[in-house]
Amino acid sequence: MRSFRRNLYEKDFLVTFELVPGRSTRTRHYRDIIGFAEKVAEDGLFDALSITDNAGGHPALAPEALGRELKRMGHEPIIHFSCKDKNRNKIESDLLALDREGLHNLLILTGDYPRYGYRGRAKPVFDLDSVSLLRLISEMEKGFLLPPEVPGGGITLPPIPFFAGCVVNPFKWSEAETVTQYYKLIRKLRAGARFVITQVGFSARKFQELKFFLEEEGFGEVPILGSILVMDVRLARILYRGAVPGITVTERLLKTVEAEARRPDKGREAALLRAAKLMALLKGLGFQGAHICGAPLDPVAARELLAMAEEFYPSWKEFLPEFSEAPERSFFLYDRDPETGLNLRRRRGLSPRSVRSLTFLFSGLIHRLFFSSKAPFFRLTKSFFERLSGSRFEKYFARLEYGFKKPLFDCQECGDCTLGELAFLCPQSQCAKYLLNGPCGGSRDGWCEVYPGKRRCVYVRIYERLSPEERRKKLLENEIPPRNWALYRTSSWLNFYLGKDHHSLLTHRKS
């Protein structure tokens, strides 16, 4: 079998299939996965099989274990690699282990928030976000330079031939969620992502919107695979309730699937037919491939699906009305083409700043006076902190600082403050995943994936506080390095003026 990397750039259209391991290798489900993989390997049905990493936030078999078996069968495994369960040291260790196994195709995800585990909910980690993880992998691809202060440091490790992709959720229905999702995607691509796989969705216009956006931003050559869900009535009802973060099923689509389920075959043929039409449509829109999710582990059904998609491709435009539905008051980045129902290459204007609270205005004023290198009091304040450093008053000043910031920002005393970059909203206290470079894909109607109806996504709130020009600068241009835990419970103001926090890394990267 040719490598997934070569196929991605050389084939007209490729198809991957997603496998979801369970919590045991001693069950029928695992035997079904192995049996399916053996049969499709013989037929060469798919260009790669991908393996989820604790999908839904539940514990399951580690993807590298199944990846080894698939590789022995001749498959090209894609290992899903998420940030939710590991700190940065464990992440690096696992990447080294994957290299040893020859498992180099990676799909990098933020990951679903951890759910049920042994005796309760697991602790969320999210030490790195997907942007920082892609940056780490890019450095490992080139040859990772060990810092001189670590054991054996000062040398460059041999390069590792990883081939990492990322995910994006274009199926967002508000302006803030749509734009911040796309801005984060650009950061992922700049950090080293080589391909993109979308979240599951059913809107042709949103699929095309993603293509248009990447082309306009100079990433039109990046391969994109659109995810296709083979959905039965049980799954449709779960998705309609919003139980799976980031996937939207409208009431109309749910009723269609429920009607299909009353047929003698329980809607099986209709589900495959819908997936085949969407696959043909993706090919017509110029996608490099399709990523099949939720499909039964049935080689016969898989062959049927691929054959129908090939048959439907010449008439793909006829299926556009079936994939035109969107929730009410949906936002699209481009004007609608009345002739096709898709998009015109004409961007819509973005909304102006909508939130200007007293806290935001006051914080902005203080930042302009003291925390910009061109601020009138910058040099004087820097001199003060240089004298304070190392004195017996340093710890008392840290208490004074957090005495102000806790009631204003719910400060978590990280000592590596990002308030100035993120519209004076703290991701350490107000993002369930502590994300520094943009939102995850799980928000719904502006609400946080973890606290729906209780807490709004912090990046939606950040977006509303910034002007259109500030949004692009703060949410797209400047990648924020991961939090430095060595600074925990130290004065962030002192760390800023002494060049100890992430701002020094931003300056270094720009230079």
Question: Which three-class secondary structure string do you get for 104-141?
Answer: CEEEEECCCCCCEECCEECCCCCCCCHHHHHHHHHHHH
- Of 320, 346, 372, at which residue does a domain stop? 346
Identify whether 322 is part of a domain.
yes
The Cα–Cα gap between 325 and 332 comes to: 12
In this structure, which long-range contacts are made by residues 358-365, counting pairs with CB atoms below 8 Å and at least 24 apart in sequence?
A: 359/408, 359/424, 360/423, 360/424, 360/465, 363/408, 363/419, 363/424, 364/424
Closest CA to 425 of 360, 473, 369: 360
25 assigned to some structural domain: yes
Using the 3D structure, point to which of 313, 346, 379 is the last residue of a domain.
Answer: 346
Q: Are residues 333 and 398 in the same domain?
A: no
Closest CA to 124 of 481, 406, 446, 448: 448
Relative to beta strand 120-121, strand 116-117 is: antiparallel
- For residues 335 and 382, membership in a common domain is answered with no
What are the residue ranges of helices labelled H in 423-485?
427-430, 458-465, 468-472
- How many other C-beta atoms can be found within 10 angstroms of the C-beta atom of residue 71? 15
| Amino acid letter, 278 | L
Indicate if 327 and 364 belong to the same structural domain.
Answer: no
Domain that holds residue 238: 4-346
By C-alpha distance, which of 429, 437, 511 is closest to 474? 437
Q: Are residues 364 and 289 in the same domain?
A: no
Same domain, 306 and 372: no
- Asked whether residue 193 falls in the same domain as residue 267, the answer is yes
What CATH number should be reported for the domain holding residue 75?
3.20.20.220
Domain end among 305, 320, 346:
346
352 found inside a domain? no
> 17 has which bridge partners?
49, 292
Q: Quick one: 465 and 323 in the same domain?
A: no
Amino acid at 272: L
Pair (189, 290) in one structural domain: yes
Closest CA to 106 of 83, 130, 76, 80: 80
Entry field: residues in the chain: 511
Per-residue tens of pLDDT for the chain, all 511 residues: 578 999 999 999 999 999 999 999 999 999 999 999 999 998 899 999 999 999 988 899 999 999 999 999 999 999 999 999 999 999 999 999 999 999 999 999 999 999 888 999 999 999 999 999 999 999 999 998 888 888 888 899 999 999 999 999 999 999 999 999 999 999 999 999 999 999 999 999 999 999 999 999 999 999 999 999 999 999 999 999 988 889 999 999 999 999 999 999 999 999 999 999 999 999 999 999 999 999 999 999 999 999 999 999 999 999 999 999 888 889 999 999 999 999 999 999 999 987 778 889 999 999 999 998 889 999 999 999 999 999 988 988 899 999 999 999 999 999 999 999 999 999 999 999 999 999 999 999 999 999 999 999 999 999 999 999 899 999 998 899 999 999 999 999 999 999 999 988 764 454 3
336 vs 201, 339, 340, 344, CA distance in Å?
A: 18, 9, 9, 6
Ordered alpha helix ranges (H), 389-501: 394-409, 427-430, 458-465, 468-472, 492-497
Residue 341 lies in a domain: yes
Q: Is residue 353 part of a domain?
A: no
Q: What share of the chain is helix, strand, coil (3-state, %, to 5)?
A: 45, 10, 40
This prediction has a pTM of: 0.95
Phi, psi of 447 (to 5 degrees): -95, 150
Same domain, 31 and 170: yes
Question: In the chain, what is the straight-line distance between the N-terminal and C-terminal CA atoms, in Å?
Answer: 43
Same domain, 15 and 146: yes
Q: CA-CA distances (angstroms) from residue 214 to 117, 168, 265?
A: 38, 12, 41
Domain assignment present for residue 351? The answer is no
Helices (H), 431-501: 458-465, 468-472, 492-497
Structural domain count, the chain: 2
62 and 210 both lie in a single domain: yes
In a domain, 239, yes or no: yes
The SS3 of residue 425 is coil
Q: Please, are residues 41 and 77 in contact by the beta-carbon 8 Å criterion?
A: no
Tell me, yes or no, whether 157 and 105 share the same domain. yes
Compute the distance between CA of residue 471 and CA of residue 489 in angstroms, rounded to an integer: 30
